[in-house]
């Protein structure tokens, strides 16, 4: 399995057989460039412009959106409803959190989570091998809340998303702020894991 961060909350996951899943491709109007990432499966967590670009959907792509359990080729996708704010969606609506299982690994994507998920939701999502969590702070949980959630969910690998990048027109926490909250970090362009690879040594 290979995970590549595209920008904002967009990632492409590639299975060992070469099938691809793209989650939350953003519209370029947010100020960030974005290449083309043709994918077998395209997943949307909600329809805000920094998470939803229909032009990323190819003619043969399977689209997954909303809560429920979906099977698409090598990917098993579980969607769990959550809120974009801490007022039960009154301000910003709902989002979908996803647990994506591929090649024996569980990847959990927390979208623009606005409050800590319920115990039931966390139980359904399961313990992640890889956790993709929001670290933009302004329209999601705070960095302090993100740290608490990461510590609670105990992923083997945690990857922040939605922090500020040059050109981004949306308010967000800087990468330096994220690094201060998570001082033990490594910088990588992509993450590639072999089937049944032990991840314990990657959490130090």
State which residues form the domain around 41: 2-182
Asked whether residue 43 is assigned to any structural domain, the reply reads: yes
The predicted-structure confidence for 70-96, as pLDDT tens digits, reads as follows: 999 999 999 999 998 788 867 778 999
Confirm whether 86 is domain-assigned: yes
Assess whether pLDDT exceeds 50 at residue 123.
yes
Using pLDDT thresholds of 50, 70 and 90, give the confidence band for residue 160.
very high
In a domain, 201, yes or no: no
Sign of CA dihedral 158, 71, 52, 98: negative
Q: What pLDDT sits at residue 167?
A: 78
- The number of folded domains in the chain is 1
In this structure, what CATH number is given to the domain that contains residue 77?
3.60.15.10
Question: What is the per-residue pLDDT across 54-76, written as a single tens digit (0 to 9) for each?
Answer: 999 999 999 999 999 999 999 99
- Domain assignment present for residue 196? The answer is no
160 is a domain residue: yes
Angle at 177 between CA 146 and CA 81, to 5 degrees: 25
Domain annotation covers residue 101? yes
| pTM confidence score | 0.89
* pLDDT band of 195, cuts 50, 70, 90: low
């Amino acid at each position: 399995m290979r995970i590549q961060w595209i920008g904002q909350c967009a990632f492409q996951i590639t299975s060992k057989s070469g099938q691809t899943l793209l989650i939350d491709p953003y519209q370029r109007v947010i100020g960030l460039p974005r290449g083309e990432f043709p994918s077998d499966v395209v997943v949307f967590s909600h329809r805000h412009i920094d998470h939803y670009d229909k032009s990323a959907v190819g003619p043969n792509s399977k689209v997954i959106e909303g809560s429920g359990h979906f099977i698409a080729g090598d990917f098993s996708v579980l969607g769990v409803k959550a809120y974009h704010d801490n007022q039960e969606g009154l301000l910003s609506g709902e989002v979908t959190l996803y647990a994506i299982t591929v090649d024996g690994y569980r990847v959990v994507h927390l979208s623009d989570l606005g409050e800590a998920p319920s115990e039931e939701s966390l139980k359904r999502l399961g313990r992640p091998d890889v956790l993709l969590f929001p670290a933009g702070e302004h329209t999601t949980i705070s960095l302090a809340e993100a740290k608490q959630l990461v510590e609670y969910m105990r992923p083997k690998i945690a990857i922040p998303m939605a922090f500020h990048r040059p050109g981004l027109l949306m308010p967000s926490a800087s990468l330096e702020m994220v690094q201060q909250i998570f001082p033990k970090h490594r910088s990588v362009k992509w993450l590639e894991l072999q089937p049944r690879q032990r991840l314990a040594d990657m959490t130090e």
